[in-house]
Structure 1
Amino acid sequence: MTLRGARERWVRTGGVELCVAELGDPDRPTVLLVHGYPDSKEVWSEVAVRLADRFHVVLYDVRGHGRSTAPQPLRGGFTLEKLTDDFLAVADAVSPDRPVHLVGHDWGSVQSWEFVTVKRAEGRIASFTSMSGPSLDHFGHWIQRRMKRPTPRRVGQLLGQGAKSWYVYLLHTPVLPELAWRGPLGRTWPRILSRFEKVPAGNYPTSSLTSDAAHGAWLYRDNVRPRLRRPRADAYAHAPVQLITPLGDAFLSERLYDELELWAPQLTRRTLPAKHWVPRTRPDQLASWVGEFVTSVEGGRQEPVSATGPHADRFGGQLVLITGAGSGIGRATAYAFAEAGARVVAVDRDGEAAARTAEMSRLVGATDAWAETVDVSDEQAMEKLAAKVATEYGVVDVLVNNAGIGLAGSFLDTTSDDWRKVLDVNLWGVIHGCRLFGKQMAERGQGGHIVNTASAAAFQPTRALPAYSTSKAAVLMLSECLRAELAEQGIGVTAICPGLVNTNITSTARHAGVDAAEEARRQKKSARLYGMRNYPPEKVAEAILRGIVNNEAVVPVTPEARGAHLLSRFAPGMLRRLARVKPPM
Structure 2
Amino acid sequence: MKTGKGPGQGPHQGQEQGLRGARERRVRTGGVELCVAELGDAARPTVMLVHGYPDSKEVWSEVAQRLAESFHVVLYDVRGCGRSTAPKPLRGGFTLEKLTDDFLAVADAVSPGRPVHLVGHDWGSVQAWEFATVRRTEGRIASFTSMSGPSLDHFGHWIKKRMARPTPRRAAQLLNQGAKSWYVYMLHTPKLPELAWKGPLGKRWPRILERVEKVPGGGYPTSSLPTDAAHGAWLYRDNVIPRLRRPRADAYAHCPVQLITPTGDAFLSQRLYDDLERWAPQLVRRTLPAKHWVPRTRPDQLTSWITEFITAQEEGDPAKKVVATGPYADRFGGQLVLVTGAASGIGRATAFAFAEAGARIIAVDRDAEGAARTADMARLIGAPHAWGETVDVSDEAAMEKLADTVDAAYGTVDVLVNNAGIGLSGSFLDTTTEDWQKVLDVNLWGVIHGCRIFGKRMAERGQGGHIVNTASAAAYQPSKILAAYSTSKAAVLMLSECLRAELAGQGIGVSAICPGLVNTGITTTSRFAGVSADEEKRRQAKAARLYGMRNYPPEKVADAVLRAVVRNQAVVPVTPEARGAHLMSRFTPRALRALARIEPPL
Mark yes or no: TM-score above 0.5: yes
Separation of aligned partners in 1, 2:240 and 2:314: 34
Q: What SS class does the counterpart of residue 219 from structure 2 fall into?
A: coil
> Which secondary structure does the structure 2 equivalent of 1:268 belong to?
strand
1:44-63 to structure 2, matched below 5 A, reads 44-63=60-79
Aligned 8 A contact 2:22 2:37 in 1: yes
1:432-484, Cα deviation, whole Å (9 max, x unpaired):
11112212222222222111101111112222222111111110110111111
Match of 1:185 in 2: 201
Letter in 2 for 1:150: P
| Structure 1, unpaired ranges of 5+ | none
Does 2:242 match 1:226? yes
- 1:134 is aligned to 2:133: no
Cα deviation code 1:191-242 (max 9, x no counterpart): 2112221212222222221111111111111222222222222222111111
SS, match of residue 232 in structure 1? coil
The aligned amino acid for 1:125 is I
Q: Deviations over 1:357-396 (max 9, x none)?
A: 1111122222332211111111111112222222322222
Given the superposition, is the C-alpha separation of residues 554 and 157 from structure 1 closer, same or farther in structure 2, using an over 3 Å criterion?
A: closer
Is the alpha carbon distance of 1:533 and 1:98 closer, same or farther for their aligned partners in structure 2, counting shifts above 3 Å?
same
- 1:256 maps to 272
Given the alignment, which residue of 293, 297, 304 partners 1:288?
A: 304
Distance between the aligned counterparts of 1:160 and 1:568, measured in 2?
Answer: 42
Query: 1:521-541 deviations in whole A, cap 9, x for unaligned?
Result: 222222122112211111111
Is 1:339 the counterpart of 2:343? The answer is: no
- Correspondent of 1:23 among 21, 34, 39: 39
State the match for 2:454 in structure 1: 437
Cα distance between partner residues in 1 of 2:445 and 2:476: 19
Q: How many positions carry a matched residue from both structures?
A: 585
Matching of residues 61-140 of structure 1 within 5 Å? 61-140=77-156
Report the Cα offset of residue 167 of structure 1.
Answer: 0.9
Give the deviation of 1:336 after TM superposition: 1.3
TM-score by length of 1: 0.96
2:164 aligned with 1:164, yes or no? no
Q: 146, 151, 164: which one pairs with 1:148?
A: 164
Identical amino acids, percent of aligned pairs: 81
Indicate the residue corresponding to 1:387 in structure 2: 404
Partner of 2:383: 366
Provide closer, same or farther for how the CA distance between residues 210 and 332 of structure 1 changes in structure 2, counting only shifts above 3 A. Answer: same
CA RMSD of aligned residues (A): 1.7
Which digits, 9 at most, give the CA deviation of each residue in 1:328-375, with x for residues without a partner?
Answer: 000111111122222222111111111111111122222332211111
Encode CA deviations 1:493-536: one digit per residue, 9 max, x unaligned.
11111111111111111222333333222222221221122111
Aligned pair 1:34/2:50, yes or no? yes
Q: Is the 8 A contact 2:518 2:547 kept in 1?
A: yes
Moved more, 279-288 or 66-75: 66-75
Q: Any residues of structure 2 matched to 1:360-509 within 5 Å, and which? A: 360-509=377-526
Cα displacement (A) at 1:107: 0.4
State the alpha-carbon separation in 2 of the partners of residues 181 and 211 from structure 1: 7
8 A Cα contact 2:472 2:514, kept in partner: yes
Task: Provide TM-score, normalisation by structure 2.
Answer: 0.94
Q: What residue is the counterpart of 2:342 in the other structure? A: 325
Please tell me whether residue 521 in structure 1 is matched to residue 538 in structure 2.
Answer: yes
Where 1:270 maps in the other structure, the secondary structure is strand
Q: Which moved further from structure 2: 494-503 or 553-562? A: 553-562
Structure 1 runs of 4+ aligned residues shifted over 4 Å read none
Structure-1 residue corresponding to 2:222: 206
Amino acid paired to 1:461: P
The code of the aligned residue for 1:272 comes to L
Instruction: Determine the C-alpha separation between the residues in 1 that align with 2:239 and 2:576.
Output: 61
Q: Does structure 1 retain, via aligned residues, the 8 Å contact 2:286–2:331?
A: no
Partner Cα separation in structure 2 for residue 417 and residue 67 of structure 1: 67
Give, as a single letter, the amino acid of the residue that structure 2 aligns with 1:436. Answer: I
Residue 5 of structure 2 corresponds to which residue in structure 1?
Answer: none
Aligned to 2:285: 269
- Letter of the aligned partner of 1:180 in structure 2? A
Structure 1 range deviating more: 68-77 or 399-408: 68-77
Structure 2 unaligned regions, length at least 5: 1-16
The alpha-carbon deviation at position 160 of structure 1 amounts to 2.2
